[in-house]
Structure 1
Amino acid sequence: MSKAPQARINQISKEDIARSFSRAAKTYDDAAFFQKLAGERLLERLQYFKLQPTNILDLGCGTGYFTRELSGRFPNAKVTGADLAKGMIDFCRAQSNQEDYVCADALQLPFDTNSFDFVFSNLTIQWIEELPQLFQELNRVLKPEGLLLFTTLGPDTLYELKQSWAALNDYQHVNNFIDMHHVGDAMLSARMSDPVVDNEPVVIGYNRATELMRDLKNIGAHNIDSSRNHGLTSPRQLRKLEQEYSKFRMDDGQLPATYELVYGHAFGTEAGAAVGYHDYAVEIG
Structure 2
Amino acid sequence: MTYIPHHYANLLLHQLPTLKTQPQILDVGCGEGWLTRQLSKTYPGATITGTDKDYKKIQKCRYEASNQNLSIHYQILNHDQSKLALEEFYDLICCHNVLAHSQNPQQLIQKLANQLNQRGTLSIISENPAAKALEENFRALSPTADIQLEDIGKVYDLHVEQVKERVQKSSDLRILYPLEDLLHWSNQLGKRYEIEVKGLSYVMDYLDEPYHWLEEEVTLQNNTTFFSYFYHILLKKLS
* CA displacement at 1:140 relative to structure 2: 1.9
Change (3 A) 1:76 1:50: closer
State which structure, 1 or 2, has the greater radius of gyration over its C-alpha atoms: 1
Partner residue, 1:277: none
Structure 2 residue matching 1:149: 3-state secondary structure: strand
Change (3 A) 1:114 1:184: farther
Residue among 141, 159, 176 paired with 2:115? 141
Identity %: 19
Change (3 A) 1:53 1:185: farther
Structure number with greater CO (CA < 8 Å, separation at least 6) is 1
* CA displacement at 1:62 relative to structure 2: 0.7
Distance 1:33 1:154 in 2: 12
TM-score, normalised to structure 1, is 0.55
Letter of the 1:131 partner, please give it. P
Partner residue, 2:78: 105
Distance 2:196 2:103 in 1: 19
Letter of the 2:54 partner, please give it. A
CA RMSD of aligned residues (A): 3.2
CA contact (8 A) 1:57 1:79 kept: yes
Change (3 A) 1:59 1:53: farther
Partner residue, 1:128: 102
Distance 1:33 1:136 in 2: 26
The 5-angstrom pairing of residues 1-285 of structure 1 reads 33-34=4-5, 37-46=7-16, 49=18, 51-97=20-66, 98-107=71-80, 108-159=82-133, 173=171, 175-191=174-190, 193-199=193-199, 201-205=202-206, 260-268=229-237
Change (3 A) 1:181 1:52: farther
1:77-115, Cα deviation, whole Å (9 max, x unpaired):
111111121221111112124200011122334333452
* CA displacement at 1:161 relative to structure 2: 9.2
CA contact (8 A) 1:198 1:262 kept: yes
* CA displacement at 1:162 relative to structure 2: 9.9
Distance 2:135 2:41 in 1: 37
Distance 1:133 1:63 in 2: 25
Change (3 A) 1:189 1:114: farther
CA contact (8 A) 2:135 2:204 kept: no
Structure 1 residue matching 2:44: 3-state secondary structure: coil
TM-score, normalised to structure 2, is 0.64
Question: How many residues are paired up?
Answer: 181
1:156-182, Cα deviation, whole Å (9 max, x unpaired):
12227999xxxxxxx964754111121
Letter of the 2:51 partner, please give it. A
Structure 1 residue matching 2:50: 3-state secondary structure: strand
Distance 1:96 1:79 in 2: 11
Letter of the 1:205 partner, please give it. Y
CA contact (8 A) 2:127 2:231 kept: yes
Which consecutive aligned stretches of 4+ in structure 1 deviate over 6 angstroms post-superposition?
160-163
Change (3 A) 1:127 1:259: farther
* CA displacement at 1:193 relative to structure 2: 0.3
Tell which deviates more after alignment, 62-71 or 137-146: 137-146
* CA displacement at 1:265 relative to structure 2: 0.2
* CA displacement at 1:194 relative to structure 2: 0.8
